[in-house]
Amino acid sequence: MTVGYLGDIVFSVSSNQVKTPNNIKYSNSANYSEQKRHNASPILEYTGYNLASISFKMTLSYLLGVKVEDELKKIDDYMKIGKLLKFVLGKRCYGSYRWVITKYSVDYQTFNVKGEVVTADITISLKEYNNYSWGNTTGGATK
C-alpha cells in the first residue's frame, strides 16, 4: 500500500517492502518588522512569511525489500541537481508547489560480506520551493 511519496520515491508498506518516513517535522514562520516611534512603544508590521521546511527520518533496509544504494543515490542526485519534488502523505499534498532536498545525512547500520549497505537510517531536510520567485511562474529548469 502506498503511504505517500517524495517525487518518485514512493513511501509504501506491503508484504514485499517497508519504506515509510517517521519523525516528520514541519516548520514555518512569519517575518515582522519593528517600527520605532518617538515617545511610544514600537509597532510591529507584518512583512511576509518564510518558506516552510520539513525534515524526516527513514530506515532503508534490504531486509525490508529496499534497494538501499539505489535509494541513497537517487536522494543524492536530487539534492545535487535541485530537483523539484512533490511531497505527499496520505491524501495530503504538503506545500504550495514543490520541495527541494537541502540536506541529508546517512547512518550506515549494517553491511553484507561484499561491503554493500544492507541497512541505513537517513534524515532528509526539505525546503519549500516558491515558483513565484522573481516572477518565475514556470518552476525552474528541473521540474
Mean pLDDT of the chain: 90
- Gap between the Cα atoms of 86 and 125, Å rounded: 14
Judge whether residue 135 has pLDDT over 80: no
Quickly state the pLDDT bin for 142 (edges 50, 70, 90).
Answer: very low
In the beta sheet, which residues pair with residue 35?
Answer: 43
Per-residue buried b or exposed e for 72-100, using 16+ beta carbons within 10 Å of the residue's own CB? bebbeebbeeebbbebbbeeeebbeebbb
Judge whether residue 143 has pLDDT over 60: no
The whole-number pLDDT of residue 96 equals 84
Judge whether residue 123 has pLDDT over 60: yes
Count of domains for the chain: 1
Tens-place pLDDT, residues 15-73: 888 899 999 999 999 999 999 999 999 999 999 999 999 999 999 999 999 999 999 99
Q: Tell whether 86 is covered by a domain.
A: yes
Q: Tell whether 90 is covered by a domain.
A: yes
Q: What is the pTM of this model?
A: 0.83
- For residue 14, the enclosing domain spans 2-30+46-130
Q: Tell whether 36 is covered by a domain.
A: no
CA neighbor of 85 nearest in space, from 96, 103, 97, 99: 99
Q: Tell whether 141 is covered by a domain.
A: no
Is the distance from CB of 88 to CB of 5 less than 8 angstroms?
yes
Q: Tell whether 41 is covered by a domain.
A: no
The whole-number pLDDT of residue 138 equals 47
Show Cβ contacts of residue 130 under 8 Å, excluding neighbours closer than 6 positions. 51, 96, 97
Q: Tell whether 78 is covered by a domain.
A: yes
Show Cβ contacts of residue 137 under 8 Å, excluding neighbours closer than 6 positions. 131
Q: Tell whether 17 is covered by a domain.
A: yes
Q: Tell whether 12 is covered by a domain.
A: yes
Strands (E), the chain: 2-6, 9-13, 18-19, 21-27, 30-37, 40-49, 53-61, 85-89, 92-111, 117-129
Judge whether residue 139 has pLDDT over 80: no
Helix or strand run (H / E) with residue 70: helix 68-81
